[in-house]
Chain A
Amino acid sequence: MIDPAQILIDAVSVGGLYALTALGIGLIFSVMRLANFAHAELVTVAAYMLFAFSGSPVAVAILVAIAAAVLLALATERIAFRPLRGADSATLLISSFAVSMFLQKLLVFLVGSRPKALDPLPALSRTVSIGSLQVSALKLVTIVVCLTLLAALTAFLKWTRFGLQMRASAENFTMSRLLGVRANAVIAIAFGLSGLLAAVVAVLFAAQSGFVQPRFGVQIVIIAFVATVIGGLGNLFGAAVGGFFVGVVTILLQAFLPAELRPFREAFLFVIVIAILLFRPQGLFPARNLKERV
């Protein structure tokens, strides 16, 4: 018998990771109309940093991972995407593929393609009992961290000066710049935040999977892209909801599909995604002014 509470915890912890990843992608898309596939390598590089600093205290390793992902995000913006600002969405998308491939191959060259084992959060590899329920501490922490970050990001966007500027830019970049919003600052902050989110996802995801390889980030980013599309590209609320939705559907498929079909659960997930997009091609929460660019 499957415990509904157990399913809920699994769904929220998986959905939370997808939601954070989808938000990292959505932040960039909403201000720049760039679907940044290189987000995957932000996650991957952060995970490799955890591996490299696995001898250090956990806090140090996490801080290094965050710093690396934020710096890499800022560097890709400065070097690869800034010269293309205002370019066609397709051009931006393809250049993000190029950045993603370049970083993946660079990692293969530097560290090899074989998986490396790591355990960034050893203290959480135990179970906690809540009433009659046995829950993995890692899943609980994942849920808490995801919800805290979602709340913090919401507060940032809602209450701070830069948050306001970012929401304004997402709706109409040209008008925002005419009001004095600095495009470079807003875009840099969006990339910095996406790096931060990628690093947090890397810590939690690496703790779950226990190893890292050069395509580590790709697996989760592909699913997160699906989440942002379901939610409505360019809409951050939609991205978060899309992330949780994909997580819930994945876990439900895992729980209720007959055992022989479980290896194909992604196929079922994508059938559901296609069905949604057939009825709502703009996603569940379409963004305004999608045509407006820098």
Chain B
Amino acid sequence: MTAIAGQGGGRQGSAETLAPLLSIRGLTVRYGPITALDGLSLDVGAGQVISIVGPNGAGKSSLLAAIAGTVKPAGGQVTFKGQPTIGQPLEQTVRRGIALVPEGRHVLASLTVLENLRLGATIRRDTAEAAREIEGFFKTFPILGERRNKSAGRLSGGEQQMLVIARALLSKPTLLMLDEPSLGLAPKITDQIYAMLASIREAGVSILVVEQNAARALRVADRTYVLNGGIIRMSGTEAELSGNPDFEAAYFGLAPRGGAQ
């Protein structure tokens, strides 16, 4: 059956309705003797927002890195739009439709704001349309429009985060992955970032967001997974998890392995 689906390249649409957009099975990541992810499995459906919460060192960044391809997993499978992704060249990630906003923002500080955005559209051939989108972004965020020809390294943390999200969106991703988008930002700026995520979702982009800020992560997501010690301890909707004493216990690594689901 998979062979038939593989041959009929044009029939991917039907496969997508059957299978989740992103499917992770038994994903294990090791750094030398340290196991960062231990046989993790989860799905992201088309149009869904999934959040991952957990303390520092829980394995959150390793998960995104393994999906994006910057880290080579020791075991397990990652399937995106029905295709295995592990072992593919890094520049294929964005061409497949996965955009990563890494922790620490990573604006290209020596490039201007405008150049950062242009680079976000690297894989597109419709340059004129991309340029219109960039202008539209400058209208929404006039501060960045004013500084379009300034070095991106001189922006404030919040402005850099906006820029990096906009840069990721310019590749027209199907799945946007964000690593701690609120890290080190004032609450007001964090509000803006999460408002931005809500409108990105309305545009039909699936989102996988990793957060230490559990309250935020719960509110924004259809489903939240609690990750600790490389293992998913618990998962559920905001209604199921917020105020649930097990949630806090799971966050701090107190729940038994494979606990309440």
- CB closest chain-B residue, reference A170: B110
- CB closest chain-A residue, reference B90: A177
User: Contacts A179-B119, A179-B122: A172 and B106 contacting too (C-beta < 8 A)?
Assistant: yes
Contact assessment for A174 and B171 in the assembled complex, using a CB-CB cutoff below 8 Å = no
Segment of A42-50, A160-168, A270-278 in the binding face: A160-168
Query: Considering the complex, which residues of chain B in the window 65-93 have a beta carbon less than 8 Å from any beta carbon of chain A?
Result: 68, 70, 89-91, 93
- CB closest chain-B residue, reference A158: B115
Contact of B22 with A by CB under 8 A: no
Interfacial chain A residues near B95, Cβ < 8 Å: 180
Contact assessment for B90 and A164 in the assembled complex, using a CB-CB cutoff below 8 Å = no
- CB closest chain-A residue, reference B171: A180
Contact assessment for B109 and A164 in the assembled complex, using a CB-CB cutoff below 8 Å = no
- CB closest chain-B residue, reference A294: B90
Contact of A171 among B99, B100, B109 (CB under 8 A): B109
Q: Mark B91-116, 1 if CB is under 8 A from A, else 0.
A: 10111000110100010111100010
Contact of B167 with A by CB under 8 A: yes
- CB closest chain-A residue, reference B110: A171
Contact assessment for B109 and A288 in the assembled complex, using a CB-CB cutoff below 8 Å = yes
Interfacial chain A residues near B70, Cβ < 8 Å: 174, 178
Nearest CB of B to A156, in Å: 14
Bound together, the chains give a CA A180 to CA B122 distance in angstroms of 6
Contact assessment for A164 and B115 in the assembled complex, using a CB-CB cutoff below 8 Å = yes
Contact of B120 with A by CB under 8 A: yes
Nearest CB of B to A190, in Å: 16
- CB closest chain-A residue, reference B115: A164
User: Contacts A168-B119, A174-B70: A182 and B111 contacting too (C-beta < 8 A)?
Assistant: no
Contact of B123 with A by CB under 8 A: yes
Nearest CB of B to A245, in Å: 22
Q: Which of B122, B123, B171 has the most CB of A within 10 A?
A: B122
Contact assessment for B90 and A179 in the assembled complex, using a CB-CB cutoff below 8 Å = no
Interfacial chain B residues near A172, Cβ < 8 Å: 106, 108
Contact assessment for A164 and B93 in the assembled complex, using a CB-CB cutoff below 8 Å = no
User: Contacts A167-B111, A168-B111, A288-B109: A179 and B94 contacting too (C-beta < 8 A)?
Assistant: yes
Bound together, the chains give a CA A177 to CA B120 distance in angstroms of 11
Contact of B68 among A178, A183, A288 (CB under 8 A): A178
Interfacial chain A residues near B102, Cβ < 8 Å: 175, 178
Contact assessment for B110 and A167 in the assembled complex, using a CB-CB cutoff below 8 Å = yes
Query: Considering the complex, which residues of chain A in the window 254-294 have a beta carbon less than 8 Å from any beta carbon of chain B?
Result: 288
User: Contacts A164-B118, A164-B119: A178 and B93 contacting too (C-beta < 8 A)?
Assistant: yes
- CB closest chain-A residue, reference B118: A164
- CB closest chain-B residue, reference A174: B70
Contact of B167 among A167, A179, A181, A183 (CB under 8 A): A179
Interfacial chain B residues near A164, Cβ < 8 Å: 111, 115, 118-119
User: Contacts A168-B108, A168-B111: A178 and B100 contacting too (C-beta < 8 A)?
Assistant: yes
Interfacial chain A residues near B123, Cβ < 8 Å: 180
Contact of A250 with B by CB under 8 A: no
Interfacial chain B residues near A181, Cβ < 8 Å: 91, 119, 122
Contact of A208 with B by CB under 8 A: no
Interfacial chain B residues near A182, Cβ < 8 Å: 91
- CB closest chain-B residue, reference A186: B91
Contact assessment for B111 and A178 in the assembled complex, using a CB-CB cutoff below 8 Å = no
Bound together, the chains give a CA A177 to CA B110 distance in angstroms of 17
Bound together, the chains give a CA A172 to CA B171 distance in angstroms of 18
Interfacial chain A residues near B93, Cβ < 8 Å: 178
Contact of A176 with B by CB under 8 A: yes
Bound together, the chains give a CA A182 to CA B90 distance in angstroms of 9
Bound together, the chains give a CA A223 to CA B172 distance in angstroms of 47
Contact assessment for B119 and A176 in the assembled complex, using a CB-CB cutoff below 8 Å = yes
Bound together, the chains give a CA A164 to CA B117 distance in angstroms of 11
List residues of chain B with CB under 8 Å of any chain A CB: 68, 70, 89-91, 93-95, 99-100, 102, 106, 108-111, 115, 118-120, 122-123, 167, 171
> Would you mind naming 8 contact pairs between A and B with Cβ atoms under 8 Å apart?
A167-B115, A168-B108, A168-B115, A172-B106, A178-B94, A178-B99, A179-B122, A180-B94
List residues of chain A with CB under 8 Å of any chain B CB: 164-165, 167-168, 170-172, 174-183, 288
Q: What 5 A-B pairs come out closest when comparing CB atoms? A: A180-B123, A180-B122, A177-B90, A180-B94, A177-B91
Known: A171-B108, A180-B123. 7 other contacts (CB 8 A): A164-B119, A168-B111, A175-B102, A177-B90, A178-B94, A180-B122, A181-B122
